[in-house]
Amino acid sequence: MFKIVSKRKLNSTVTMMEIYAPLVAKKAQAGQFIILRVNDDGERIPLTIAGFDREAGTVKIIFQIVGATTALLNIKNAGEYIQDFVGPLGCATRIDGISKVCIVGGGVGCAIALPLAQKLHEAGAEVHSIIGFRNKDLIILEDEFKRCSDKLTVMTDDGSYGGKGFVTAPLEEAINSGENYDEVFAIGPLIMMKSVVAVTKQKKVPTTVSMNPIMIDGTGMCGGCRLTVGGNIKFACVDGPDFNGFDVDFDEAIVRSAMYKEFEARACKNCNLLKSEVK
Amino acid sequence: MGIQPKKNIMPVQDPSERIHNFNEVALGYREELAVAEAQRCLNCKNRPCVEGCPINISIPDFISEIRNGNFEKAYSVIAESSSLPAVCGRVCPQETQCESKCTLGIKFEPVAIGRLERFVADYHNSNSKDTIKRHTTINKKIAVVGSGPSGLACAGELAKKGYQVTVFEALHKVGGVLIYGIPEFRLPKSIVDKEIESLKSYGVQFKTNIVIGKTITVDELMEEYSAVFIGTGAGLPKFMGIKGEGLNGVYSANEFLTRANLMKAYANSSTPIMQAKNVAVIGGGNVAMDAARTALRLGAENVYIVYRRSMKELPARKEEIEHAEEEGIQFELLRNPVEIIGYTNADNQRDNKNGYVKGLKVRKCVLGEPDERGRRRPIEIENSEYVIDVDCVIEAIGTSPNPLIKNTTPRIKFSDNNCIVVDGAGKTSEDGIYAGGDAVTGAATVILAMGAGKAAAIAIDKYLSKANK
């Protein structure tokens, strides 16, 4: 059992938790993920590591309530326990040789983009961050991004805060205005990453994306997390989760991510507890 | 009275019933049947069956004890060699091992050694009140990586010798392939749990949720433990590399079985699994049979085994093939899959069937000359393609070893196909580090993995005893 040390609501659907897991905290690096189960007959879900404190032995996770399991996790409070917590899994994000970077985060993906921005900032790189949300109420981690970015652009789809529109607009503008990024990192919904890559591929700016497909074991056993990258099958859990954005078959990944949509909808609908929570 | 020429028949659940449940198919011998079967053993002098057993159980001795009604004594005989008799009695391919060597088998059906082993183990598990706690007697710690058959066999053997053994498991539950892979109807999980409880009584410690190669490296283990055994098992599933493998409804057998077995997706758990109407399973091994029969129990109307060669070359255990046939699994033999066809409604992007499997295109084959392994090579017949209507395709064509340890402990020698290289006793290129099971051999059987785990335990004991002097 793993103790929830702290819990903070970031917005109406996104929650941050710190979990006491010293072995994971000791090895965790930006870009890696963990797998957890909330209770004994729960499903295994992957969550990218949003931060860690090696001395305190804690790992930070930030999750959006998207289905039954995340809703169940959100009901737990600080001081309570979750059943399983394993990691760190996957490969750390590679940042060597990068002196100027643009980090593009979308929605809850910003939670994963943040430790990367911090790591690059600490390594002395010039960090430009573009973070996008549906509206003002859903903005998370703005102050944290401010602290580690040389330049921060906040976008909302409806224009209720910051710039109006998608993250791709300021990114394209920056590249057009001559910002020479060594690398662009895009972390967020699949459709956002696909759109970012559409911009950067045309401008020939190397782009890394962080994939978060459906997984079970997360250790390279089941093959459920496979993606087509450069025409070959790759496994996000051991080959990723970072991939060269130019090579990822996003359309396939988008269809695969929706494989259990109906099941998820049913699971949420059937559970009274979740119904009341989601309200 | 002459010798009964045929094995005593194993009582089984009726096929028409069992396809609707996940309960065990084979029900096991009762005492009378076991004694009657034991009486078929000739107790011959040269004991060829023992040679046929990868862990060399004293087969005629335990059968003699059954004949005399000493079932607990029979168990003690088996326990000297095996850490997991209830498992082996169920999943070993006896027809190619012990039973293939049986002298009686020259003229008649061999003695049903596997069924007798299972009987003895089950008898012990339900009757023994043996709760003796053994204590470790040797002040040396050994780490076992992976809690599948090779790890459990290695841990059991070392614990019996008195070592302090800790088994590390990446998943949340102990048992490896016995838990995530082999279905409940073939190997009830309560049996595996019991075998693990018995290892715990020998002092073996289990730590779940620790991925060696990630959470802790092998090198870090070596700082704390006198020796390490790596039994990380089968790794990444192989895919055929044909068009359409990214479609929804395409599973590796590992994923399909893990969802069903480990995550209990059949029992209304929170883990989803596709409940397909028509399912094609590609491959002909035990894993393919397991996947096919699981799909059937999840409610499929038609389940096909699609295999490139003929019935004769099917690598699965005979009993599994028979059970599958009885249950109505359809065998599409001499068929090579060439493409998985997906549903696309070009007029409606939002059609929720878009991106899902709708068929498997196969090409007919004939058998040609034997290949280097002696198996006749399938040769495709031109223009013989047709499509099998399915909404789910499960690929059970093998695995390649898990890459995590190779990535973090490159000093251990690996073969070109990423298997760990070991000597005859299971030692890797590094002192104190041993390995066995699928991580060494590539996909093989439970009993071969157990044999390797046991052999490595003996080698580790020798190595540490020598180091002591």
Residue pLDDT, tens place only, A129-187: 999 999 999 999 999 999 999 999 999 999 999 999 999 999 999 999 999 999 999 99
Which amino acid is located at A125 in the chain? A
* Nearest one of A101, A21, A94, A93 to A57, comparing CA atoms: A21
Taking the Cβ of residue A256 and every Cβ of chain B, the question of whether any pair is shorter than 8 Å is answered with: yes
Q: Which tokens in the block code for residue B261?
A: 């077995």
| Nearest-CB residue to A256 (from B180, B214, B246) | B246
With a pLDDT cut of 90, the percent of chain A lying above it is 88
Domain B141-235+401-468 in the same topology as domain B15-127: no
Beta strands, E only, B344-421: 357-370, 376-380, 386-389, 392-395, 399-400
Kindly determine whether residue B404 and residue A220, on different chains, have CB atoms separated by under 8 Å. yes
* Nearest one of B343, B353, B255 to B295, comparing CA atoms: B255
Domain extent listing, chain B: 15-127, 141-235+401-468, 237-399
How is domain B237-399 classified at the CATH fold level?
FAD/NAD(P)-binding domain (3.50.50)
B346 Cβ neighbours under 8 A, 6+ residues apart:
none
State the DSSP H helix or E strand holding residue B440, giving kind and residue range, or none if neither. Answer: helix B438-441
Per the prediction, chain A carries an average pLDDT of 93
pLDDT for the residue numbered A277: 46
Interface probe with A: pick from B236, B258, B350, B393, most Cβ of A within 10 Å: B236
What whole-number distance in Å separates Cα of residue B375 and Cα of residue B278?
A: 30
User: Sign of the CA dihedral B304, B307, B311, B315?
Assistant: negative
φ, ψ of residue B268 in degrees (nearest 5): 60, 35
Distance of CA A246 to the CA centre of its chain: 19
Contact A88, A54 (CB under 8 A): no
User: Sign of the CA dihedral B48, B50, B55, B59?
Assistant: positive
pLDDT for the residue numbered B238: 94
Which segment of A233-237, A260-264, B109-113, B176-180 scores lowest on mean pLDDT?
A: A260-264
Contact A36, A72 (CB under 8 A): no
pLDDT for the residue numbered B307: 97
Which segment of A189-198, A258-267, B50-59, B172-181 scores lowest on mean pLDDT?
A: A258-267
Name which residue leads in pLDDT, B83 or A80.
Answer: A80
pLDDT for the residue numbered B468: 61
pLDDT digits (tens, 9 = 90+) for A28-45: 999 999 999 999 888 999
Distance of CA B296 to the CA centre of its chain: 20
ipTM of this complex prediction, to 2 decimal places: 0.91
* Nearest one of B152, B149, B95, B84 to B120, comparing CA atoms: B84
Kindly determine whether residue A220 and residue B208, on different chains, have CB atoms separated by under 8 Å. no
Contact B263, A216 (CB under 8 A): yes
* Residue B7: exposure state from Cβ atoms within 10 A (0-12, 13-18, ≥19): middle
pLDDT for the residue numbered A67: 85
- Distance between terminal CA atoms of chain A? 29
| Nearest-CB residue to B211 (from A86, A228, A260) | A86
What whole-number distance in Å separates Cα of residue B52 and Cα of residue B111?
A: 13
Taking the Cβ of residue B209 and every Cβ of chain A, the question of whether any pair is shorter than 8 Å is answered with: yes
In chain A, CATH 3.40.50.80 sits at 100-257
> What size, in residues, is chain B?
469
In chain A, CATH 2.40.30.10 sits at 2-89
What whole-number distance in Å separates Cα of residue B237 and Cα of residue B282?
A: 13
pLDDT digits (tens, 9 = 90+) for A96-125: 999 999 999 999 999 989 999 999 999 999
DSSP H helices in A123-270 = 142-148, 168-176, 190-203, 236-239, 250-257, 261-270
* Residue A4: exposure state from Cβ atoms within 10 A (0-12, 13-18, ≥19): buried
- The whole-model pTM stands at 0.92
Distance of CA B439 to the CA centre of its chain: 13
Distance from CA of A268 to the nearest CA of B (A): 10
Q: How far is CA B54 from CA A4, A153, B299, B311, B333, in A?
A: 47, 65, 37, 26, 31
What CATH number matches the domain at B15-127, 3.30.300.90, 1.20.1260.60, 1.10.1060.10, 2.30.33.40?
Answer: 1.10.1060.10
Residue A225 above 50 pLDDT?
yes
What CATH number matches the domain at A2-89, 3.40.50.1370, 3.20.20.70, 2.40.30.10, 1.20.1260.10?
Answer: 2.40.30.10
Taking the Cβ of residue A252 and every Cβ of chain B, the question of whether any pair is shorter than 8 Å is answered with: yes
Query: In the A/B pair of chains, how many CB contacts fall below 8 A?
Result: 118
Give the residue-averaged pLDDT of A9-14.
Answer: 92
Taking the Cβ of residue B451 and every Cβ of chain A, the question of whether any pair is shorter than 8 Å is answered with: no
**DSSP of B94-113:** GGGTHHHH-GGGGTSPPP-H
pLDDT digits (tens, 9 = 90+) for B347-372: 888 888 889 999 999 999 999 998 88
Q: What is the CATH number of domain B141-235+401-468?
A: 3.50.50.60
Q: What radius of gyration, in Å, describes the C-alpha atoms of chain B? A: 23
Low-confidence ranges of chain B (pLDDT < 70): 1, 130-135, 268, 468-469
Q: Which tokens in the block code for residue B266?
A: 């059949």
CATH 3.10.20.30 for domain A100-257: no
DSSP H helices in B218-332 = 218-224, 253-260, 286-297, 318-326
